[in-house]
Amino acid sequence: MIVPANYHGREQAFVKHRLLETYLERLFMIIGPHQRNIRYVDCFSGPWQEGSHDLQDTSIGISLEIMRKCRDGLKNRGINVRFQALFIEKDKRAFEKLEAHLNSYTSSEVITTAYKGEFYDLRMQILNWCKQDDFTFFFIDPTGWKNVVEISTLVPFLKRPNSEFLINFMYDNVLRTHTQKHFNEHMRAIFGEVPDTDGLFPEQKEEYLVHLYRKRLKEILPSGSGKPRAVSVPVLYPTIDRTLYHLVYLTRHPKGITVFMEASEHLDLIQRRVRAEAKQEKRESRSGQLELFQASENVSREKRADPAEVKAYWLNRLSTSPSYFGIHELADMLEETDWFESDFQAAFHELEREGKVQNLDAVRKRRTKFIHFSTGERLSREIS
Protein backbone atom coordinates (compact mmCIF):
# COMPACT_ATOMS: atom_id res chain seq x y z
CA MET A 1 0.00 0.00 0.00
CA ILE A 2 1.30 3.43 -0.94
CA VAL A 3 -1.13 5.46 1.12
CA PRO A 4 -1.02 4.92 4.91
CA ALA A 5 -4.35 4.19 6.60
CA ASN A 6 -4.54 7.64 8.23
CA TYR A 7 -4.77 9.23 4.77
CA HIS A 8 -7.63 7.08 3.47
CA GLY A 9 -10.38 9.19 1.99
CA ARG A 10 -8.06 12.18 1.68
CA GLU A 11 -5.43 10.84 -0.69
CA GLN A 12 -4.97 14.30 -2.21
CA ALA A 13 -3.59 15.47 1.16
CA PHE A 14 -1.04 12.63 1.02
CA VAL A 15 0.11 13.87 -2.41
CA LYS A 16 0.27 17.48 -1.21
CA HIS A 17 2.23 16.50 1.89
CA ARG A 18 4.80 14.49 -0.11
CA LEU A 19 5.47 17.54 -2.28
CA LEU A 20 5.76 19.84 0.74
CA GLU A 21 8.11 17.44 2.47
CA THR A 22 10.35 16.80 -0.57
CA TYR A 23 10.57 20.40 -1.64
CA LEU A 24 11.11 21.90 1.84
CA GLU A 25 13.97 19.53 2.57
CA ARG A 26 15.76 20.33 -0.68
CA LEU A 27 15.11 24.05 -0.28
CA PHE A 28 16.39 24.30 3.30
CA MET A 29 19.53 22.28 2.53
CA ILE A 30 20.28 24.46 -0.52
CA ILE A 31 19.72 27.86 1.09
CA GLY A 32 20.89 26.86 4.60
CA PRO A 33 24.57 27.66 3.98
CA HIS A 34 23.62 31.20 2.92
CA GLN A 35 21.16 32.11 5.71
CA ARG A 36 21.49 32.71 9.45
CA ASN A 37 17.71 32.50 9.95
CA ILE A 38 15.09 30.55 8.06
CA ARG A 39 11.43 31.22 8.75
CA TYR A 40 8.44 29.12 7.80
CA VAL A 41 4.85 30.40 7.98
CA ASP A 42 1.91 28.02 7.68
CA CYS A 43 -0.85 30.56 7.04
CA PHE A 44 -3.75 28.04 7.33
CA SER A 45 -2.21 25.38 9.47
CA GLY A 46 -5.03 23.32 10.93
CA PRO A 47 -4.69 20.57 12.12
CA TRP A 48 -7.41 19.58 9.72
CA GLN A 49 -8.82 16.11 9.09
CA GLU A 50 -5.80 14.62 10.82
CA GLY A 51 -5.71 10.87 11.16
CA SER A 52 -3.10 10.62 13.90
CA HIS A 53 -2.71 12.28 17.32
CA ASP A 54 0.94 13.13 16.76
CA LEU A 55 -0.02 15.26 13.71
CA GLN A 56 2.51 13.44 11.54
CA ASP A 57 -0.04 13.50 8.71
CA THR A 58 -0.51 17.27 8.79
CA SER A 59 1.54 20.14 7.40
CA ILE A 60 2.33 21.06 11.01
CA GLY A 61 4.00 17.76 11.88
CA ILE A 62 5.66 17.41 8.48
CA SER A 63 7.20 20.89 8.37
CA LEU A 64 8.50 20.67 11.95
CA GLU A 65 10.11 17.32 11.24
CA ILE A 66 11.78 18.63 8.07
CA MET A 67 13.07 21.74 9.84
CA ARG A 68 14.50 19.64 12.65
CA LYS A 69 16.11 17.23 10.18
CA CYS A 70 17.62 20.05 8.08
CA ARG A 71 18.86 21.90 11.14
CA ASP A 72 20.69 18.68 12.21
CA GLY A 73 21.99 18.02 8.69
CA LEU A 74 23.36 21.55 8.36
CA LYS A 75 24.85 21.42 11.87
CA ASN A 76 26.74 18.25 10.91
CA ARG A 77 28.28 20.26 8.09
CA GLY A 78 29.33 22.99 10.56
CA ILE A 79 26.51 25.35 9.51
CA ASN A 80 24.32 26.89 12.20
CA VAL A 81 20.91 28.06 11.05
CA ARG A 82 18.12 29.26 13.34
CA PHE A 83 14.78 27.80 12.20
CA GLN A 84 11.58 29.54 13.30
CA ALA A 85 8.03 28.50 12.46
CA LEU A 86 4.74 30.38 12.75
CA PHE A 87 1.34 28.69 12.50
CA ILE A 88 -1.97 30.52 11.90
CA GLU A 89 -5.36 28.96 12.62
CA LYS A 90 -8.77 30.51 13.18
CA ASP A 91 -10.81 27.55 14.39
CA LYS A 92 -10.96 27.31 18.19
CA ARG A 93 -10.70 23.52 18.48
CA ALA A 94 -8.04 23.19 15.83
CA PHE A 95 -6.05 25.95 17.49
CA GLU A 96 -6.21 24.17 20.86
CA LYS A 97 -4.80 21.04 19.24
CA LEU A 98 -2.14 23.08 17.48
CA GLU A 99 -1.07 24.78 20.72
CA ALA A 100 -1.04 21.49 22.63
CA HIS A 101 1.14 19.96 19.93
CA LEU A 102 3.56 22.88 19.87
CA ASN A 103 3.79 22.79 23.69
CA SER A 104 4.62 19.09 23.62
CA TYR A 105 7.05 19.58 20.76
CA THR A 106 10.08 20.52 22.80
CA SER A 107 12.93 21.17 20.45
CA SER A 108 15.57 23.81 20.73
CA GLU A 109 16.17 23.22 17.02
CA VAL A 110 13.01 24.96 15.84
CA ILE A 111 11.37 27.89 17.64
CA THR A 112 7.60 27.80 17.21
CA THR A 113 4.84 30.40 17.56
CA ALA A 114 1.09 30.22 16.89
CA TYR A 115 -1.44 33.00 16.27
CA LYS A 116 -5.16 32.39 16.56
CA GLY A 117 -7.40 34.30 14.19
CA GLU A 118 -8.28 35.22 10.64
CA PHE A 119 -5.34 35.21 8.27
CA TYR A 120 -6.61 38.44 6.70
CA ASP A 121 -6.64 40.30 10.02
CA LEU A 122 -3.31 38.90 11.15
CA ARG A 123 -1.36 39.88 8.03
CA MET A 124 0.59 42.77 9.59
CA GLN A 125 1.37 40.72 12.71
CA ILE A 126 2.67 37.89 10.51
CA LEU A 127 4.86 40.27 8.53
CA ASN A 128 6.25 41.79 11.75
CA TRP A 129 7.06 38.30 13.00
CA CYS A 130 9.02 37.61 9.77
CA LYS A 131 11.31 40.62 10.41
CA GLN A 132 12.73 42.59 7.53
CA ASP A 133 15.29 40.40 5.86
CA ASP A 134 15.04 36.79 7.04
CA PHE A 135 14.32 34.25 4.31
CA THR A 136 10.68 33.19 4.73
CA PHE A 137 8.70 30.39 3.12
CA PHE A 138 4.92 30.97 3.18
CA PHE A 139 2.61 27.97 2.85
CA ILE A 140 -0.90 29.17 1.95
CA ASP A 141 -3.30 26.27 2.07
CA PRO A 142 -6.83 27.57 2.78
CA THR A 143 -10.24 25.96 2.54
CA GLY A 144 -11.86 28.87 0.61
CA TRP A 145 -10.69 31.87 -1.36
CA LYS A 146 -12.43 34.94 0.10
CA ASN A 147 -9.82 37.18 1.77
CA VAL A 148 -7.24 34.53 0.99
CA VAL A 149 -5.95 33.94 -2.53
CA GLU A 150 -7.05 37.24 -4.03
CA ILE A 151 -4.10 39.28 -5.12
CA SER A 152 -5.09 42.27 -2.93
CA THR A 153 -5.00 40.06 0.18
CA LEU A 154 -1.58 38.68 -0.69
CA VAL A 155 0.05 41.92 -1.86
CA PRO A 156 1.81 42.76 1.43
CA PHE A 157 3.41 39.29 1.40
CA LEU A 158 4.24 39.29 -2.30
CA LYS A 159 6.02 42.61 -1.93
CA ARG A 160 8.25 41.27 0.82
CA PRO A 161 11.80 40.50 -0.36
CA ASN A 162 13.52 37.18 0.37
CA SER A 163 10.27 35.22 0.34
CA GLU A 164 8.96 32.11 -1.38
CA PHE A 165 5.38 30.90 -1.57
CA LEU A 166 3.49 27.67 -2.01
CA ILE A 167 -0.17 28.51 -2.64
CA ASN A 168 -3.05 26.10 -2.92
CA PHE A 169 -5.00 27.46 -5.88
CA MET A 170 -8.40 25.82 -5.73
CA TYR A 171 -8.74 25.23 -9.40
CA ASP A 172 -11.94 23.16 -9.41
CA ASN A 173 -13.83 25.87 -7.47
CA VAL A 174 -12.58 28.54 -9.83
CA LEU A 175 -13.41 26.44 -12.89
CA ARG A 176 -16.99 25.96 -11.75
CA THR A 177 -17.61 29.60 -10.86
CA HIS A 178 -15.51 31.75 -13.19
CA THR A 179 -18.21 32.04 -15.85
CA GLN A 180 -21.02 32.88 -13.42
CA LYS A 181 -21.98 36.58 -13.21
CA HIS A 182 -22.52 36.25 -9.49
CA PHE A 183 -18.76 35.55 -9.06
CA ASN A 184 -17.44 38.29 -11.38
CA GLU A 185 -16.20 40.40 -8.48
CA HIS A 186 -14.35 37.41 -6.96
CA MET A 187 -12.76 36.63 -10.30
CA ARG A 188 -11.56 40.21 -10.72
CA ALA A 189 -10.02 40.02 -7.24
CA ILE A 190 -8.22 36.79 -8.10
CA PHE A 191 -7.22 37.38 -11.73
CA GLY A 192 -7.46 41.16 -12.14
CA GLU A 193 -10.13 40.49 -14.79
CA VAL A 194 -13.01 38.11 -15.49
CA PRO A 195 -11.29 35.32 -17.42
CA ASP A 196 -12.78 34.53 -20.79
CA THR A 197 -12.43 30.82 -21.46
CA ASP A 198 -15.23 30.58 -23.98
CA GLY A 199 -14.53 28.02 -26.70
CA LEU A 200 -11.54 26.46 -24.94
CA PHE A 201 -11.23 22.71 -24.33
CA PRO A 202 -11.04 21.61 -20.65
CA GLU A 203 -7.24 21.22 -20.69
CA GLN A 204 -6.84 24.57 -22.43
CA LYS A 205 -9.05 26.20 -19.78
CA GLU A 206 -6.91 24.75 -17.04
CA GLU A 207 -3.71 26.00 -18.64
CA TYR A 208 -5.19 29.42 -19.29
CA LEU A 209 -6.59 29.96 -15.78
CA VAL A 210 -3.53 28.67 -13.94
CA HIS A 211 -1.10 30.63 -16.10
CA LEU A 212 -3.21 33.77 -15.66
CA TYR A 213 -3.10 33.43 -11.87
CA ARG A 214 0.65 32.79 -11.95
CA LYS A 215 1.16 35.83 -14.18
CA ARG A 216 -0.84 38.03 -11.81
CA LEU A 217 1.17 36.86 -8.81
CA LYS A 218 4.45 37.57 -10.58
CA GLU A 219 3.34 41.06 -11.56
CA ILE A 220 3.09 42.05 -7.88
CA LEU A 221 6.57 40.98 -6.85
CA PRO A 222 8.81 44.05 -6.53
CA SER A 223 11.37 44.64 -9.24
CA GLY A 224 15.03 43.94 -8.56
CA SER A 225 16.72 40.95 -6.93
CA GLY A 226 15.83 38.43 -9.63
CA LYS A 227 13.02 37.82 -12.07
CA PRO A 228 9.74 36.66 -10.45
CA ARG A 229 8.98 33.09 -11.43
CA ALA A 230 6.07 30.71 -10.87
CA VAL A 231 5.26 27.10 -11.69
CA SER A 232 2.55 24.77 -10.45
CA VAL A 233 1.72 21.14 -9.97
CA PRO A 234 -1.81 19.73 -10.37
CA VAL A 235 -3.31 17.58 -7.63
CA LEU A 236 -6.19 15.45 -8.94
CA TYR A 237 -9.23 13.97 -7.22
CA PRO A 238 -8.27 10.48 -6.03
CA THR A 239 -10.87 8.60 -8.07
CA ILE A 240 -12.12 11.15 -10.61
CA ASP A 241 -9.96 12.18 -13.57
CA ARG A 242 -10.11 15.88 -12.84
CA THR A 243 -7.84 18.45 -11.18
CA LEU A 244 -8.87 19.41 -7.66
CA TYR A 245 -6.23 22.09 -7.08
CA HIS A 246 -2.87 23.37 -8.25
CA LEU A 247 -0.01 23.97 -5.87
CA VAL A 248 1.51 27.18 -7.18
CA TYR A 249 5.12 27.90 -6.30
CA LEU A 250 6.44 31.45 -6.49
CA THR A 251 10.08 32.49 -6.23
CA ARG A 252 12.80 34.74 -7.65
CA HIS A 253 15.36 31.96 -7.93
CA PRO A 254 15.71 29.97 -11.16
CA LYS A 255 17.25 27.14 -9.15
CA GLY A 256 14.10 27.07 -6.99
CA ILE A 257 12.04 26.46 -10.14
CA THR A 258 14.27 23.61 -11.33
CA VAL A 259 14.31 21.95 -7.90
CA PHE A 260 10.55 22.35 -7.47
CA MET A 261 9.91 20.82 -10.89
CA GLU A 262 12.20 17.88 -10.02
CA ALA A 263 10.12 17.36 -6.88
CA SER A 264 6.95 17.61 -9.03
CA GLU A 265 8.23 14.98 -11.42
CA HIS A 266 8.86 12.63 -8.53
CA LEU A 267 5.37 13.45 -7.25
CA ASP A 268 3.83 12.67 -10.62
CA LEU A 269 4.62 8.98 -10.21
CA ILE A 270 3.52 8.94 -6.56
CA GLN A 271 0.26 10.61 -7.53
CA ARG A 272 -0.44 8.10 -10.28
CA ARG A 273 0.20 5.21 -7.91
CA VAL A 274 -1.96 6.74 -5.18
CA ARG A 275 -4.84 7.26 -7.61
CA ALA A 276 -4.52 3.75 -9.07
CA GLU A 277 -4.78 2.39 -5.52
CA ALA A 278 -7.78 4.60 -4.62
CA LYS A 279 -9.61 3.61 -7.81
CA GLN A 280 -8.92 -0.07 -7.17
CA GLU A 281 -10.30 0.21 -3.63
CA LYS A 282 -13.42 1.86 -4.99
CA ARG A 283 -13.88 -0.93 -7.56
CA GLU A 284 -13.35 -3.57 -4.89
CA SER A 285 -15.81 -2.04 -2.46
CA ARG A 286 -18.42 -1.80 -5.23
CA SER A 287 -17.95 -5.37 -6.46
CA GLY A 288 -17.25 -6.86 -3.02
CA GLN A 289 -14.31 -8.73 -4.59
CA LEU A 290 -10.61 -8.26 -4.06
CA GLU A 291 -8.57 -7.94 -7.24
CA LEU A 292 -5.58 -10.22 -7.74
CA PHE A 293 -2.87 -7.61 -8.27
CA GLN A 294 -2.06 -4.28 -6.64
CA ALA A 295 -3.03 -1.69 -9.27
CA SER A 296 -0.36 0.75 -8.03
CA GLU A 297 2.42 -1.72 -8.91
CA ASN A 298 1.61 -1.53 -12.62
CA VAL A 299 1.97 2.22 -12.76
CA SER A 300 5.20 3.42 -14.32
CA ARG A 301 6.82 6.75 -15.05
CA GLU A 302 5.18 8.46 -18.00
CA LYS A 303 6.30 11.46 -19.99
CA ARG A 304 4.21 14.53 -19.23
CA ALA A 305 4.84 15.96 -22.68
CA ASP A 306 4.45 14.63 -26.20
CA PRO A 307 8.08 13.98 -27.36
CA ALA A 308 7.30 15.32 -30.83
CA GLU A 309 6.08 18.59 -29.33
CA VAL A 310 9.21 18.93 -27.17
CA LYS A 311 11.44 18.28 -30.18
CA ALA A 312 9.57 20.94 -32.16
CA TYR A 313 9.99 23.31 -29.21
CA TRP A 314 13.79 22.76 -29.20
CA LEU A 315 14.11 23.27 -32.95
CA ASN A 316 12.16 26.47 -32.69
CA ARG A 317 14.24 27.72 -29.79
CA LEU A 318 17.67 26.92 -31.25
CA SER A 319 19.41 28.56 -34.14
CA THR A 320 22.50 27.70 -36.18
CA SER A 321 24.58 30.13 -34.12
CA PRO A 322 25.25 28.70 -30.63
CA SER A 323 23.18 29.98 -27.69
CA TYR A 324 24.00 29.58 -24.02
CA PHE A 325 21.59 27.43 -21.99
CA GLY A 326 22.01 27.67 -18.22
CA ILE A 327 19.77 27.56 -15.18
CA HIS A 328 17.89 30.78 -16.12
CA GLU A 329 17.05 29.42 -19.57
CA LEU A 330 15.93 26.09 -18.12
CA ALA A 331 13.69 27.87 -15.58
CA ASP A 332 12.17 29.94 -18.43
CA MET A 333 11.44 26.76 -20.38
CA LEU A 334 9.88 24.96 -17.40
CA GLU A 335 7.70 27.97 -16.59
CA GLU A 336 6.58 28.42 -20.16
CA THR A 337 5.70 24.80 -20.93
CA ASP A 338 5.00 23.04 -17.57
CA TRP A 339 7.14 20.15 -18.89
CA PHE A 340 9.90 18.49 -16.86
CA GLU A 341 13.66 18.79 -17.38
CA SER A 342 13.76 15.09 -18.30
CA ASP A 343 11.37 15.83 -21.21
CA PHE A 344 13.80 18.42 -22.53
CA GLN A 345 16.82 16.16 -22.00
CA ALA A 346 15.22 13.22 -23.80
CA ALA A 347 14.02 15.29 -26.76
CA PHE A 348 17.42 16.97 -27.15
CA HIS A 349 19.14 13.58 -27.12
CA GLU A 350 16.78 12.30 -29.79
CA LEU A 351 17.45 15.34 -31.98
CA GLU A 352 21.20 14.91 -31.43
CA ARG A 353 20.96 11.31 -32.64
CA GLU A 354 19.03 12.50 -35.68
CA GLY A 355 21.87 14.95 -36.37
CA LYS A 356 19.59 17.99 -36.01
CA VAL A 357 21.15 19.70 -32.97
CA GLN A 358 24.44 19.71 -31.12
CA ASN A 359 25.84 20.53 -27.71
CA LEU A 360 29.14 22.27 -28.35
CA ASP A 361 30.35 21.68 -24.79
CA ALA A 362 29.42 18.01 -24.63
CA VAL A 363 32.90 16.66 -25.24
CA ARG A 364 34.61 18.63 -22.51
CA LYS A 365 33.18 16.96 -19.41
CA ARG A 366 32.17 13.64 -17.95
CA ARG A 367 28.48 13.50 -18.65
CA THR A 368 25.55 12.48 -16.52
CA LYS A 369 23.01 14.40 -18.66
CA PHE A 370 22.80 15.44 -22.31
CA ILE A 371 22.75 19.09 -21.27
CA HIS A 372 24.28 20.35 -18.02
CA PHE A 373 22.09 23.38 -17.36
CA SER A 374 23.67 23.87 -13.91
CA THR A 375 27.00 24.90 -15.46
CA GLY A 376 25.53 26.19 -18.70
CA GLU A 377 26.35 24.89 -22.17
CA ARG A 378 26.26 26.14 -25.75
CA LEU A 379 23.64 24.53 -27.95
CA SER A 380 22.84 24.97 -31.59
CA ARG A 381 20.86 23.61 -34.52
CA GLU A 382 22.78 21.82 -37.22
CA ILE A 383 22.78 23.45 -40.67
CA SER A 384 20.44 21.34 -42.76
Ligand X SMILES: C[S@@+](CC[C@H](N)C(=O)[O-])C[C@H]1O[C@@H](n2cnc3c(N)ncnc32)[C@H](O)[C@@H]1O
Site residues, ligand X (CB under 6 A): 44-46, 48, 58-59, 88-91, 94, 118-119, 141-143
Please choose, from the candidates 99, 90, 109, 100, the residue with its C-alpha nearest in 3D space to the C-alpha of residue 32: 109
Please choose, from the candidates 96, 134, 138, 132, the residue with its C-alpha nearest in 3D space to the C-alpha of residue 119: 138
What's the rounded Cα separation, in Å, for the pair 303 and 123? 41
Residue 94: CB minimum distance to ligand X, A: 5
Task: Tell me whether residue 39 is exposed, middle or buried, using C-beta atoms within 10 angstroms of its C-beta: 0 to 12, 13 to 18, 19 or more.
Answer: buried
What's the rounded Cα separation, in Å, for the pair 316 and 344? 13
Q: What angle do CA 247, 249, 255 make, to 5 degrees?
A: 140
Nearer to ligand X, 99 or 332 (CB): 99
Residue 168: CB minimum distance to ligand X, A: 7
Nearer to ligand X, 118 or 196 (CB): 118
Q: Cis peptide leading into 222, omega within 30 of 0?
A: no
Nearer to ligand X, 63 or 359 (CB): 63
Nearer to ligand X, 23 or 119 (CB): 119
Please choose, from the candidates 213, 206, 228, 233, the residue with its C-alpha nearest in 3D space to the C-alpha of residue 338: 233
Residue 147: CB minimum distance to ligand X, A: 6
Bridge partners of residue 130, in order along the sequence: none
What's the rounded Cα separation, in Å, for the pair 276 and 279? 5
Q: What angle do CA 106, 108, 110 make, to 5 degrees?
A: 90
Residues 6+ apart with CB under 8 A from 336: none
Q: Residue 338 CA to chain centroid, in angstroms?
A: 12
Residue 74: CB minimum distance to ligand X, A: 25
Strands 243-251 and 229-236: antiparallel
Nearer to ligand X, 63 or 264 (CB): 63
Strands 110-116 and 82-89: parallel
Nearer to ligand X, 142 or 322 (CB): 142
Nearer to ligand X, 45 or 251 (CB): 45
Nearer to ligand X, 97 or 216 (CB): 97
Nearer to ligand X, 94 or 190 (CB): 94
Q: How many C-beta neighbours within 10 Å does residue 117 have?
A: 12
Residue 45: CB minimum distance to ligand X, A: 6
Residue 40: CB minimum distance to ligand X, A: 12
Residue 95: CB minimum distance to ligand X, A: 9
Angle between helices 202-220 and 151-158 (to 10 degrees): 50
Residue 8: CB minimum distance to ligand X, A: 15
| Rg of the Cα atoms in the chain | 22
Residue 47: CB minimum distance to ligand X, A: 6
Strand ranges across the sheet with 377-381:
323-325, 377-381, 357-359
Residue 89: CB minimum distance to ligand X, A: 5
Nearer to ligand X, 141 or 277 (CB): 141
Rounding to the nearest 10 degrees, give the CA dihedral for residues 17, 20, 26, 29: -100
What's the rounded Cα separation, in Å, for the pair 358 and 370? 10
